[in-house]
Amino acid sequence: MRTLIEALKTHNYRYYVLDNPILEDSEYDQLRRSLLELEEAYPDLIQPDSPINQVGDIPLSAFTQVTHDIPMLSLGNVFDYDDLHGFMRRVNDRLSDAQQNPEYEMELKLDGLAVSLKYENGHYAQAVTRGDGQTGEDITQNAKTIRNLPLYLRDAKDIDLLEVRGEVLMPKAGFERLNRLAEDKGEKTFANPRNAAAGSLRQLDPAIAASRPLAFYAYSVNQGLPDSFDKIDTQSAALAWLGDLGFTVSAVEVIANPRAAQTYYESMIETRDDLPFEIDGMVIKVNSLSLQQQLGFLSREPRWATAYKFPAETVMTRLQAIEWQVGRTGQITPVGKLEPVKVGGVTVSNVTLHNFGEIERLDVRAGDMVSVHRAGDVIPKISRVWHDQRLETSEPVALPSTCPVCESPVILPEDEALARCSGGLFCPAQQTEALIHFVSRRAMDIDGLGERWLISFFKQGLVKTVADIYDLHQHTEEMITFEKLGEKSVQNIIEAIEASKKTTLARFIYALGIRGVGEGTAQNFAQQFGDLDSLMAADMDALIATPDVGTITAELAHEFFRAPHNIEVINSLIEAGVHWDKVEQKSSSDLPLDGQTWVITGALSSMARDEAKAKLQALGAKVSGSISAKTTALLAGEKAGSKMAKAEKLGVKVVGEDEFLGLVRE
């Protein structure tokens, strides 16, 4: 029976706390059944900590109020390193010289509900919520069903009364499962794991609480710490002792100074997302229990501990306006203008709204209260719109019918989510965006000619196209007259422009700002064609044969190099002296399919066509869009049509998917 109990406890812990079970449900049930059978056969041997016991009793009609022996207080907060220093200084101020700069201990600030547990002679006796701090609700039946909560502590049977406090929480994975289940049944979902844990403990029927994935993490011993154990004189030792008794305790770090506290705090900001449950900060406590006693409390907070909160990741604010921005390639994107707020430690005043569809999905309007979420470094997003607080005067958002900058009609291509200005390079917004892109670090890298000056020069008519940048040296007198732009800065700009003339073919292609051609594609084009003239002259087939270039990008590039305006700009740039070293094309002669040209047709069952194309290219083959006598092989999937007929007619070898897979696997 003991072996089964220990095994069940281990598996409960893995399942409910770590969310990492190693048994199948049926295997677990079998262990449980075996224990139950033994308990039925030998009732007088039933162990007090048997998990079979761990189900609640009958439903209650109401919770009883219980007054705490010792009030359950809350914690003060600090939000940054200065605050933390201040907290430690206030601790020092109350200590004698010899006691100054005490050791501290740091714990996770678990985002759940504070609960006080009582054990009488080692037996679980009572669980009470924090309530108002003085009086809470008796949730003994519900808490009993928490699988990692020990019901019997053998090593504490000599302690008449042990009071342990800690946090009840719902691990993230369990929370998501619970919500999915609720969703499937069309029931209400919980907003976050904390609410779900609270809702579960507030159930009058313990059977419901029992079905919820809850866990208990102990963080303090409030009564019954054995005096005889003089080695338990610190918070960290007290938690270690609770761990020995069978409680789950959160990670603990003992630190000597504010720097070390800061380092640990920052490392936890990095790893918090990897934890199985949510935390909203760290708790920092004076480690010595006698110093804690000496420091005491100030109104409702201990002087010896504080919460070092993480920057909030979600905050509420008002969406003041929705503006439309025109990008380099004419895409018109909505940008939300917020009443500025701090999220995750930085002030934000803009949020991305992606596209018109996103506005419809969120059903958001200018003037709405919104929750703004920022995780990691990503640009903040609206996670929720508070429709119940909507202003009566607000109106639904409409997609503008004309470009907000040049008033050309807006087009909404069927296959694209984004609306576009049809003005092309006639649109000043597209012109300036093209300039900004051209000088950017990863393109021509013209340091010093920042966005601000570029826009001013554009407005003054000094630059219109990217080629005009290389004529700026003829306008230095005018440039100097610009506010805040002294002779020295102008000199720097001119030098940076001069220096940018030596570049690489890949950077140059990227700088041209061809739609769909990012840095990677620009590099591939440079590798594939080796020089600009070949790229400009390339037909669709040749363009598509470039690694990672699909039909759409090939078409956009093909079109770009056919527009007289673009050719003119490119020629001016070259005439102005923009140049690059010859591209060293990597030799592919060692690759097995070097010199071969393949065509793909039909549907492949094992991968997408792009993937097959990439695999062929990796082996050295060129992949073309159409069959000719020069084609080496046709890779034909299901429902291959006219290309198949043509291959047969031209005597081009046809390769089936299986044969192809064998080839790429070799």
Which of 107, 137, 278, 433 forms a contact with ligand IVH (CB under 6 A)?
Answer: 107
Contact region with ligand IVH (CB under 6 A), list: 20-28, 300-308, 415-423, 573-581:
300-308
Contact region with ligand IVH (CB under 6 A), list: 21-29, 70-78, 89-97, 135-143:
70-78
Which of 17, 307, 410, 463 forms a contact with ligand IVH (CB under 6 A)?
Answer: 307
> Whole-number minimum distance, CB 243 to ligand IVH, in Å?
14
Distances (CA, A) of 52 to 22, 35, 187: 20, 8, 30
Q: Considering beta carbons, is residue 108 or 117 the nearer one to ligand IVH?
A: 108
Q: Considering beta carbons, is residue 306 or 408 the nearer one to ligand IVH?
A: 306
Instruction: Tell me 640's DSSP state.
Output: -
Q: Considering beta carbons, is residue 109 or 613 the nearer one to ligand IVH?
A: 109
**Residue 449 interacts with ligand IVH (CB under 6 A): yes or no:** no
What gap in Å lies between CA 379 and CA 377, rounded to an integer? 7
> Whole-number minimum distance, CB 279 to ligand IVH, in Å?
8
For residue 228, count other CB atoms closer than 10 A to its CB: 7
Extract the tokens encoding 1.
């029976």
CA-nearest of 102, 81, 114, 89 to 264 is 81
Please spell the DSSP secondary structure of 570-603, one letter per residue: HHHHHHHT-EEPPP-PPP-TTSTTTT-EEEEESB
Distances (CA, A) of 74 to 132, 249, 294, 390, 601: 10, 19, 18, 35, 68
Site pattern 241..260 for ligand IVH (x: CB under 6 A): ---------x----------
**Residue 74 interacts with ligand IVH (CB under 6 A): yes or no:** yes
**Residue 68 interacts with ligand IVH (CB under 6 A): yes or no:** no
What gap in Å lies between CA 491 and CA 196, rounded to an integer? 63
Is residue 19 helix, strand or coil?
coil
Extract the tokens encoding 378.
């990503």
**CB-based contact 248:216 (threshold 8 Å):** yes
> Whole-number minimum distance, CB 205 to ligand IVH, in Å?
25
**Residue 75 interacts with ligand IVH (CB under 6 A): yes or no:** yes
Q: Considering beta carbons, is residue 250 or 631 the nearer one to ligand IVH?
A: 250
> Whole-number minimum distance, CB 70 to ligand IVH, in Å?
9
Which of 110, 156, 255, 633 forms a contact with ligand IVH (CB under 6 A)?
Answer: 110
For residue 620, count other CB atoms closer than 10 A to its CB: 16
The one-letter amino acid code at 50 reads: S
Please spell the DSSP secondary structure of 606-620, one letter per residue: SS-HHHHHHHHHHTT
> Whole-number minimum distance, CB 299 to ligand IVH, in Å?
12
For residue 94, count other CB atoms closer than 10 A to its CB: 13
> Whole-number minimum distance, CB 95 to ligand IVH, in Å?
19
Q: Considering beta carbons, is residue 219 or 508 the nearer one to ligand IVH?
A: 219
Q: Which of 109, 144, 285, 309 is catalytic?
A: 109
**Residue 404 interacts with ligand IVH (CB under 6 A): yes or no:** no
**Residue 507 interacts with ligand IVH (CB under 6 A): yes or no:** no
For residue 251, count other CB atoms closer than 10 A to its CB: 15
Q: Using the Cα atoms of residue 271, residue 275, residue 280 and residue 283 in order, give the sign of their dihedral.
A: negative
Which of 78, 114, 284, 326 forms a contact with ligand IVH (CB under 6 A)?
Answer: 114
Contact region with ligand IVH (CB under 6 A), list: 11-19, 108-116, 353-361, 597-605:
108-116
Contact region with ligand IVH (CB under 6 A), list: 107-115, 226-234, 426-434, 503-511:
107-115
Residue 154 dihedral angles phi and psi, to the nearest 5°:
-60, -40
Residues 6+ apart with CB under 8 A from 141: 56, 57, 60, 206, 209
Q: Considering beta carbons, is residue 169 or 621 the nearer one to ligand IVH?
A: 169
Q: Considering beta carbons, is residue 114 or 616 the nearer one to ligand IVH?
A: 114
What gap in Å lies between CA 475 and CA 281, rounded to an integer? 56
Using CB positions, name the residue nearest to ligand IVH.
114
Q: Considering beta carbons, is residue 224 or 428 the nearer one to ligand IVH?
A: 224
**Residue 170 interacts with ligand IVH (CB under 6 A): yes or no:** no
**Residue 67 interacts with ligand IVH (CB under 6 A): yes or no:** no
> Whole-number minimum distance, CB 613 to ligand IVH, in Å?
53
Active site residue 109: yes
> Whole-number minimum distance, CB 232 to ligand IVH, in Å?
17
What gap in Å lies between CA 527 and CA 529, rounded to an integer? 6
Q: Considering beta carbons, is residue 76 or 625 the nearer one to ligand IVH?
A: 76
End-to-end CA distance of the chain: 56
**Residue 109 interacts with ligand IVH (CB under 6 A): yes or no:** yes
Q: Considering beta carbons, is residue 28 or 310 the nearer one to ligand IVH?
A: 310
> Whole-number minimum distance, CB 196 to ligand IVH, in Å?
16
Contact region with ligand IVH (CB under 6 A), list: 67-75, 171-179, 471-479, 499-507:
67-75
**Residue 73 interacts with ligand IVH (CB under 6 A): yes or no:** yes
Q: Where are the alpha helices (DSSP H) in 405-486?
A: 428-439, 451-459, 476-480
Distances (CA, A) of 244 to 42, 147, 226, 369: 29, 17, 14, 49
> Whole-number minimum distance, CB 166 to ligand IVH, in Å?
8
> Whole-number minimum distance, CB 73 to ligand IVH, in Å?
4
Q: Considering beta carbons, is residue 70 or 537 the nearer one to ligand IVH?
A: 70
Residues 6+ apart with CB under 8 A from 430: 326, 327, 328, 329, 330, 421, 423, 424
Q: Considering beta carbons, is residue 114 or 351 the nearer one to ligand IVH?
A: 114
**Residue 302 interacts with ligand IVH (CB under 6 A): yes or no:** yes
Contact region with ligand IVH (CB under 6 A), list: 71-79, 223-231, 442-450, 529-537:
71-79
* Residue numbers 213-242 binding ligand IVH by CB under 6 A: 219-220
Is residue 548 helix, strand or coil?
coil
- In terms of Cβ atoms closer than 10 Å to its own Cβ (0-12, 13-18, 19+), residue 139 is buried
**Residue 283 interacts with ligand IVH (CB under 6 A): yes or no:** yes
Site pattern 118..137 for ligand IVH (x: CB under 6 A): ------------x-------
DSSP collapsed to 3 states, 349-393: EEEECCCHHHHHHHCCCCCCEEEEECCCCCCCEEEEECHHHCCCC
Using CB under 6 A as the binding criterion, the count of chain residues that bind ligand IVH stands at 17
What gap in Å lies between CA 429 and CA 455, rounded to an integer? 10
> Whole-number minimum distance, CB 330 to ligand IVH, in Å?
51
**Residue 402 interacts with ligand IVH (CB under 6 A): yes or no:** no
Residue 110 dihedral angles phi and psi, to the nearest 5°:
-75, 135
Q: Considering beta carbons, is residue 288 or 553 the nearer one to ligand IVH?
A: 288
Task: Give the catalytic positions in this structure.
Answer: 109
Q: Give the footprint of ligand IVH on this chain (CB under 6 A).
A: 73-75, 107-110, 114, 130, 167, 219-220, 250, 283, 302, 305, 307
